[in-house]
């Protein structure tokens, strides 16, 4: 009797481990595909002073105003990344010009890099921590707080909130699987919350 209970216990433990490994692998694949399907915007202020943080937002507004339309016709993250790389000099010039207009003589740098991001909420969209490609803009010594956004698929941005537009939702549905879309857009659903937590933990330590 005891031997039978031991076998049942070991079988239960074994199946639990298999299920856990399968779930982690499944969520890790989803997270990796999400990372590879999104291009983000990352701007680092010169310092944490109120003045430098305001400059950072001015540069953000200028970049989004000047270059959002350039990306609006892109149909994939690869195309968006290529368009941004082709326009890096113009992006840097626009950032520098915005700084000069505000009597600031910092220089800006612009590059497309793979950056580590924490878990970040954009309106109803919640992206897990991980490495994402981003247009990375540094102002001066770049010692201040960061500002993040998503350039592809584009988000609708205002001064007070960041909300994903219906058009962007449709693009996300087209480039992500049903489960991947649910992971980041329905992360508060009970059946998704555990998967998102796994993705968040994976994003902090693995890629």
What would the pLDDT profile of 68-91 be if each residue is shown by its tens digit? 888 877 888 889 999 999 999 999
β-bridge partners, 131: 116
pLDDT digits (tens, 9 = 90+) for 12-50: 565 556 545 545 555 666 677 788 888 988 899 999 999
Dihedral (CA of 12, 14, 16, 18) sign: negative
Q: What's the token pair of residue 8? A: 């049942």
Q: Higher confidence at residue 3 or residue 135?
A: 135
Compute the distance between CA of residue 109 and CA of residue 96 in angstroms, rounded to an integer.
9
pTM: 0.74
Compute the distance between CA of residue 120 and CA of residue 99 in angstroms, rounded to an integer.
27
Model pLDDT, residue 184 = 79
Taking all residues of the chain, what is their mean pLDDT, rounded to a whole number? 78
Crossing angle of helices 178-185/190-205, nearest 10°?
A: 90
Q: Higher confidence at residue 134 or residue 123?
A: 134
- How much of the chain, in percent, has pLDDT values that exceed 90? 27
- pLDDT category, 200, cuts 50, 70, 90? low
Long-range contacts of 112-116 (CB under 8 A, 24+ apart): 112/81, 112/84, 112/85, 112/88, 112/136, 115/40, 115/42
Asked whether the predicted pLDDT for residue 207 surpasses 60, the reply is: no
Cis? peptide before 202, omega within 30° of 0: no
Q: Higher confidence at residue 145 or residue 162?
A: 145
The domain locations on the chain are: 37-205
Q: Are 39 and 130 in contact (CB under 8 A)?
A: no
């Amino acid at each position: 009797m005891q031997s039978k209970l031991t076998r049942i216990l070991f079988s239960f433990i074994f199946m639990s481990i298999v299920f856990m490994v399968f779930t982690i692998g499944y969520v890790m694949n989803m997270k990796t595909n999400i990372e590879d399907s999104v291009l983000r915007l990352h701007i680092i202020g010169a310092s944490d002073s109120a003045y430098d943080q305001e400059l950072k937002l001015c540069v953000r507004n200028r970049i989004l105003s000047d270059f959002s339309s350039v990306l609006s016709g892109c149909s994939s993250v690869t195309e968006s990344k290529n368009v941004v790389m082709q326009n890096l000099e113009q992006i840097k010039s626009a950032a520098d010009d915005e700084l000069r207009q505000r009597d600031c003589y910092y220089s800006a740098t612009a590059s497309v890099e793979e950056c580590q991001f924490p878990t970040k909420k954009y309106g109803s969209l919640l992206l897990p921590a991980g490495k994402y490609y981003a247009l990375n803009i540094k102002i001066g010594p770049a010692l201040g707080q960061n500002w993040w956004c998503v350039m592809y698929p584009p988000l609708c941005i205002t001064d007070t909130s960041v909300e994903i537009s219906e058009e962007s939702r449709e693009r996300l549905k087209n480039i992500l699987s049903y489960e991947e879309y649910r992971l980041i857009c329905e992360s508060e659903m009970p059946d998704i919350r555990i998967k998102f937590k796994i993705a968040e933990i994976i994003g902090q330590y693995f890629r």
